[in-house]
Amino acid sequence: MTRSVILGNGALSVLMDQGYVIREVYYPLTTENNANALRIGVWCDGDFSWFSELSPEIGYLDDTLVSVASASFKGVSLKFYDCVDFAYNVLVRRCELKTQKECRVFFAFDYKIDGHDEGDTALYDPATSSIIHYKESRWFVFSSNQPFFEYATGYKQTRGLVGTWKDCEDGRLSGNPIAQGAVDSAVSFRFFQDSSFYSWIVASRDLLEAKRVNDYVRTKSADELMKRTANYWRAWLSVSKAVGDFSDALKRSALIIACHCQNNGAIPASLDTDIMRFNRDTYNYVWPRDAAYASLALTLLGYLDLSRGVFRFLFPLIMREGCMFQKYTVEGHWGSTWHPWTQGFFPIQEDETAIILHALWQHFSRFQDVDFVKPYYRPGIKAAADFLLNFRDKKLGLPLPSYDLWEERFGTHLYTCACVYAGLKAASNFTRFFGELELARKYESVAEEVKAGIDAMWLGDHFARSVKVENSKIVGFDETIDASSLLLPQLGVYPADHPKVVQNARVVEQKLSVAGGIARYENDTYLKTSEQPNPWVITTLWLAEQKALTRDLEGARRLIQWVLSKALKSGVLPEQVTPKGDYPSVTPLVWSHAELIRAIVMLNS
């Protein structure tokens, strides 16, 4: 189910679905999802309902990372506020209840600590009045400023037992104090009139740390933590300047990207694990490409530390050959891949190496942080630039074949060539800045050779997606219209008002428009559910950016409005939608929010 809410502080990350069920709990990095389902339920007049079954209204408090969800059941009104404290690894929850009759609120905890539920322990700890789940160095402690009415721990998915969460549905809990293996737990609170109370989940590496933080929350008060976290994010947003049109959407996108930013600089593409139903893998990896576009967006808004974190994470991962791998775990290990290793070289996507150089130059141009860039100059910038320089057909000047940005085709692609051009130009700028003028001229010269190859990809009314090369000669073209061709001006290959760019954009809009948005390319079948391909958020925003750059402001606004119409009420953006408006893929996607920021900034420039 689509995720409606993401909360996080760089170490603890929490995502909730459209029923306000917590589906992901990541700690201390997004290495493994520790949650299966953390639910809320309500019992009244002998009847029970899960909060998710009440069609809750879900959103965020303005300019904060405090979520809010409300629903009613049998005349009882419930409203929940949640946030991850900006300083401590605590999920703080406030419940506001309006009732004039007996009402019981249930919290059910179904964890799969460290990504699986073997060997977990669930227990009630009278010393802290808490429910604790733990395994090895992952501890999750649930406490409240309201005494528990009842509690239970038990077994799930074993010996014919569904789970302790099922016991909530009769309004009573057994009081079983401990269980180990595949386990879950639940607690309840009882009220007879309008009430409000706080609960919280402390994430920690051991029991002593958990108790220390739990005592801190009780002393400081959960109410104070929620207030200060809301104030922190409002203050954080003050760094980005008001931009005029769509400023609320821009701020929400900045906050959602910030939720994905890990303390070690990693920015995973998406933390929504619902996509796992397709092939038992997720988007919870750092693609250098996605991370670079997130950094570009953060740079535009003036966020120095978060934008530089991308480079702090990625540059040490550059291989000795000077290139990046396809994707990485948030710990910096190589991610899973479906690209065969039979092409004579690692199955790379060369654009990912190049776009990092481009993004770093944009960062440096904005912040002029020489001391930050200096350690990455020789082992990083120059190594990557030399790879781009050498990984070419020397006679033709174009890059050697690699996989495309859609991770589907092996060849010499227009978008890859444009990124290589931008990366070499960035390297030229860096080497000129550091006084290596001869090397700067060399990178500049090779960039122009790549641009000449891009010129040759013009087909009269649009750019070819890729070229077929034999014996250092172009012998064929893939004439498929691809939305990534819209990025040529943003990568510095041509100005946005260049006749070829304008004509290409016209053809892209004409041929790839689907239900108001823009598809990736002709006959795209990825997650397709109808005769038409799915429109994507990033591709639609690329066209909006092109229109903004050529001052077709109404056209840009129309496309941005279409994107916002596909967002959830919380402001979260998907990767793509079906022509009917369903969500077949991950939500949220960091790149979607990065492109929305870029489009809004260009519109208001």
Task: Give residue-wise pLDDT tens across range 46-63.
Answer: 999 999 999 999 999 999
Q: Identify the residue whose tokens are 């404290």.
A: 85
**pLDDT given for residue 561 in this prediction:** 98
Q: What is the mean pLDDT of the chain?
A: 96
Locate 106 and state its tokens: 């249930």
What whole-number percentage of the chain has pLDDT above 70?
99
* Residue 278 scores a pLDDT above 90: no
Residue 44: pLDDT band by 50, 70, 90 thresholds? very high
Q: Identify the residue whose tokens are 């539920």.
A: 117
**pLDDT given for residue 345 in this prediction:** 79
What distance in Å separates the CA atoms of residue 234 and residue 573, rounded to the nearest whole number?
21
Domains, the chain, with CATH or none: 3-211 (2.70.98.10), 302-479 (1.50.10.10)
Sign of dihedral through CA atoms 23, 26, 31, 34? negative
* Residue 20, SS3 per DSSP: coil
For residue range 204-257, what is the model confidence (pLDDT) as tens digits? 999 999 999 999 999 999 999 999 999 999 999 998 766 788 999 999 999 999
What distance in Å separates the CA atoms of residue 239 and residue 229, rounded to the nearest whole number?
16
**pLDDT given for residue 239 in this prediction:** 83
**pLDDT given for residue 242 in this prediction:** 64
* Residue 119 scores a pLDDT above 90: yes
Q: Which helix (H) or strand (E) holds 154?
A: strand 150-155
**pLDDT given for residue 525 in this prediction:** 96
State the alpha helices, DSSP H only, in 343-382.
Answer: 350-367, 370-376
Locate 3 and state its tokens: 């995720």
**pLDDT given for residue 356 in this prediction:** 98
* Residue 321, SS3 per DSSP: coil
State the alpha helices, DSSP H only, in 202-287.
Answer: 207-220, 222-237, 247-260, 276-279
User: What's the DSSP call for residue 328?
Assistant: B
Residue range 288-308: average pLDDT?
97
**pLDDT given for residue 279 in this prediction:** 67
**pLDDT given for residue 160 in this prediction:** 72
* Residue 120: HSE in the Cβ half-sphere, 13 Å Cα cutoff: 28
**pLDDT given for residue 244 in this prediction:** 84
* Residue 201 scores a pLDDT above 80: yes
Residue 447: pLDDT band by 50, 70, 90 thresholds? very high
Residue range 590-605: average pLDDT?
97
Residue range 557-567: average pLDDT?
98
Q: Identify the residue whose tokens are 């995973």.
A: 268
Locate 338 and state its tokens: 């479906």
Q: Identify the residue whose tokens are 């978060």.
A: 306
* Residue 51, SS3 per DSSP: helix
**pLDDT given for residue 458 in this prediction:** 98
For residue range 132-178, what is the model confidence (pLDDT) as tens digits? 999 999 999 999 999 999 999 999 987 778 899 999 999 999 999 99
Amino acid residing at 256: I
**pLDDT given for residue 510 in this prediction:** 98
Task: Say what the pTM is.
Answer: 0.97
For residue range 493-514, what is the model confidence (pLDDT) as tens digits? 999 999 999 999 999 999 999 9
Phi, psi of 125, deg, nearest 5: -110, 105
Residue range 271-293: average pLDDT?
91
* Residue 277 scores a pLDDT above 90: no
Q: Is the peptide bond before 28 cis (omega within 30 degrees of 0)?
A: yes
Residue by residue, DSSP assigns 296-363 as HHHHHHT-HHHHHHHHHHHGGG--TTS---S-B-TTSPBPP--S-S-SSS----HHHHHHHHHHHHHH
Locate 343 and state its tokens: 């092409």
For residue range 73-115, what is the model confidence (pLDDT) as tens digits? 999 999 999 999 999 999 999 999 999 999 999 999 999 999 9
Asked whether the beta carbons of 496 and 550 are under 8 A apart, the reply is: yes
